[in-house]
Amino acid sequence: MDTARTAIIARAVVRRDGDILLVKQRAKNWSFLPGGHVEPGERVEVALIREIAEELGTDAKITGFVGVVEHGYVEDGTPHHELNLVFEVTIADLEPTSREDHIELHWLPITRLVDTDIRPAALKNALLVADRDSAQCWHAWNE
């Protein structure tokens, strides 16, 4: 994986009445947290607010830090390496709709988190830990 460029990704944990907001690419069978890539020179918090506005069409406020999850994978023969910076976020519209054709949004009961395919898997594990323990976490590459 040493040939992979490192992407910094800002991710949002958005909660509503015991549910967590997830995003799914229409062509895939797994979900991920809302957010996206931090552009060169862009502050992480600014990137996350921008990504939420672009994906969900709503204003957002960062309320806390969950942790960092490092992840590496190979897709179509290309190695990828990313650092996911995960934040607790509130959104102005609790019924957001996707603003991008290739993704859909859905609320998942937090009790079903353990049985749901959320990627990266280490990020799902970090969410499970964060729900049991309010301490910030670090999950190393693919653990």
- The residue among 60, 57, 59 whose CA lies nearest residue 98 is 57
- CA 90 vs. chain centroid, Å, equals 14
| 3-state DSSP assignment of residue 127 | helix
Residue 27 vs residues 7, 11, 39, 65: alpha-carbon distances, Å: 22, 21, 25, 30
Are the beta carbons of 89 and 12 closer than 8 angstroms?
yes
CA atoms of 46 and 136, how far apart (whole Å): 21
The pLDDT tens digits for 96-139 are 999 999 999 999 999 999 999 999 888 888 787 765 555 555 54
CATH no., domain 6-139 = 3.90.79.10
- Calpha distance 30→50 (Å, rounded): 23
Q: Concatenated DSSP letters for 40-79? A: TT--HHHHHHHHHHHHH-S-EEEEEEEEEEEEEEEETTEE
Rounded to two decimals, the pTM is: 0.86
The model's pLDDT over 8-59, given as tens digits with 9 standing for 90+, comes to 999 999 999 999 999 998 888 999 999 999 999 999 999 999 999 999 999 9
Phi/psi of residue 88, nearest 5 degrees: -75, 135
